[in-house]
Amino acid sequence: MKNFFKVPLLLIAPMVLGLLSGCERPPIETVQTGFRGTGMEQIYNPRTLLKQAALNQAPAAAEAAATDGPKASEVYKNVQVLGDLSVSQFNRHMAAITQWVSPDAGCAYCHNVQDFADDGKYTKVVARRMIQMTQRVNQDWKPHVAETGVTCYTCHRGNNIPTNVWFAPKDRKYAGGALGDLAGQNIASTQAGLSSLPFDPFTPYLKDAAPIRVNGNEAMAGVGKSANRASIKQTEHTYSLMVHMSESLGVNCTYCHNTRNFQSWEESRPQRVTSWYGIRMARDLNNDYMTPLTKTFPPERLGPKGDVAKVNCTTCHQGAYKPLYGAPMAKNFPELQALAKP
Ligand code: HEC
Ligand code: HEC
Ligand code: HEC
Ligand code: HEC
């Protein structure tokens, strides 16, 4: 009888170890976000948090510049967006965007330094539109960014190209192609948290406005009615987007949902409403700002299908529940708050 237990134990012990090796090493921190017993809690790994904290420090802003004196539009030749700033405010702005976007290459990243008015470098043309895009976020998307707002640094963090952007992926076939198309899934992609879920949750939801809601909202309904409104395929796409959203904020599903009832807004946290706006904001930036810049970018900056780099939740959040943990950087740059007069 004794041996009967020993054998399976010997077999099971390595299996259990194998299973656990997929888990995270303790300690793990748990933060309750809802009523007791509802499973509304967040599980954090302090080591991951430590890494993120380093990534999410906002740089100090230079002191505000004098508002008097001549306007930039009166002194410079080709100022189309920031003309209402005083010359010293304008120069403070140029210094800030250099620090945020091209600290290594400096002014020359955007400028022909023989003639600052020249628009010959595509980077300058893109940057002008980026100023307007940032103003749009801060002015029209307050339901998402609140008074915290964004600056170029929120996305760029000192890089010419933000570290997290997305392109439409090239079509993938099974090896050899004999088994046909992968239908956009079954590759362990980082976009979908290394799951086999669809690897492009962005084109349908952060560019196009495909329906995200897939849950049936009634029990196995009566004659002629189906409780399921959406296909499994559609549902997998929704899940892939949700995995992206969770990963980009560094949170679990319960940060927004009460998982006993994913679709119920009454039982969700307010953060889910913020996210609803975030999805619409990302669409707006991608369609109104990024896509129209496609021809401005040189071909080597475009994706495998010739589309421009686009924004998703990670572009700003980079693993934090609020970008830069909510450091209100934008308030030091009023010119990025309001849409400048044409
Ligand atoms: C990330 C791109 C970028 C960087 C880096 C940059 N600028 Fe600019 N600069 C612009 C844009 C865009 C404009 C036009 C703004 C507008 O139309 O309102 C501009 C305009 C100017 C002008 C006005 C020129 C004219 O006569 O029309 C001056 C002067 C200037 N920048 C100086 C600088 C200096 C000095 C630096 C470095 C400290 C710098 N810029 C760094 C993007 C940049
Ligand atoms: C919401 C995120 C976001 C914000 C905010 C943002 N950018 Fe960008 N920026 C992008 C994306 C996405 C690209 C495309 C990446 C690429 O160049 O392939 C880009 C590209 C650029 C480029 C071209 C870089 C290159 O080498 O191709 C410049 C210059 C630039 N941004 C300047 C700015 C400036 C200046 C600001 C602030 C006024 C700003 N950006 C704010 C997302 C952002
Ligand atoms: C940061 C907030 C947030 C996180 C985290 C999040 N969701 Fe969502 N979820 C939303 C929002 C917002 C919607 C509704 C989107 C819309 O209608 O535009 C939604 C919708 C859904 C739906 C569709 C509900 C319906 O009405 O049919 C499902 C299912 C879902 N989420 C599952 C998940 C799962 C599983 C996770 C974890 C992997 C997750 N969500 C993580 C915000 C979140
Ligand atoms: C342009 C940059 C940007 C993008 C893109 C972006 N966010 Fe945000 N998000 C912010 C800022 C800034 C805040 C902080 C607002 C505040 O302080 O209340 C924020 C706050 C949030 C919050 C509130 C967190 C809390 O605990 O209160 C959630 C949830 C969120 N974002 C989800 C998303 C999701 C999901 C996406 C992608 C669909 C997304 N965000 C895309 C900038 C962005």
- Pick from 186, 182, 198, 306: which is nearest to 244 by CA? 198
d(Cα 41, Cα 31) in Å, to the nearest integer? 5
Which of 100, 109, 111, when mutated, tests ligand 1's pocket best, judged by the most ligand atoms within 8 Å of its CB? 111
**Long-range CB contacts (within 8 A, 24+) of 269-276:** 269/33, 269/34, 269/40, 274/143, 274/144, 275/245
The rounded Å distance from CA 309 to ligand 4 centre is: 20
Q: Which of 247, 252, 256, 274 to mutate to test the pocket of ligand 3 (most atoms within 8 A of CB)?
A: 256
- The answer to whether residue 253 scores a pLDDT higher than 80 is yes
**According to the model, what pLDDT value does residue 340 have?**
58
Give yes or no for residue 150 CB within 6 A of ligand 2: yes
Point out the ligand nearest to the CA of residue 215: 3
Query: Using CA atoms, how far apart are residues 109 and 122, in angstroms rounded to an integer?
Result: 10
* Probe target for ligand 1 pocket from 124, 289, 336, with the most ligand atoms within 8 Å of CB: 124
Query: Is the beta carbon of 87 within 6 A of some atom in ligand 1?
Result: no
Instruction: Tell me: pLDDT of 86 over 80.
Output: yes
Tens-place pLDDT, residues 93-146:
999 999 999 999 999 999 999 999 999 999 999 999 999 999 999 999 999 999
For residue 48, the model assigns a pLDDT of: 77
Question: Do 128 and 80 form a contact (C-beta atoms < 8 A)?
Answer: yes
- In tens, the pLDDT along 224-246 reads 555 566 888 889 999 999 999 99
Q: Is the pLDDT of residue 3 over 60?
A: no
Confidence of residue 21 (pLDDT cuts 50, 70, 90): low
Mean pLDDT of all residues belonging to the chain: 87
CA of 187 to the centre of ligand 4 (A): 28
* Ligand 1 lined by 160 (C-beta under 6 Å): no
Which protein residue has the closest C-alpha to ligand 2 atom 41? 152
Which amino acid, residue 278? Answer: G
Evaluate whether 44 touches 31 at the Cβ level (below 8 Å).
Answer: yes
Q: What is the pLDDT of residue 342?
A: 45
Give 156 Cα–ligand 2 centroid separation in angstroms: 7
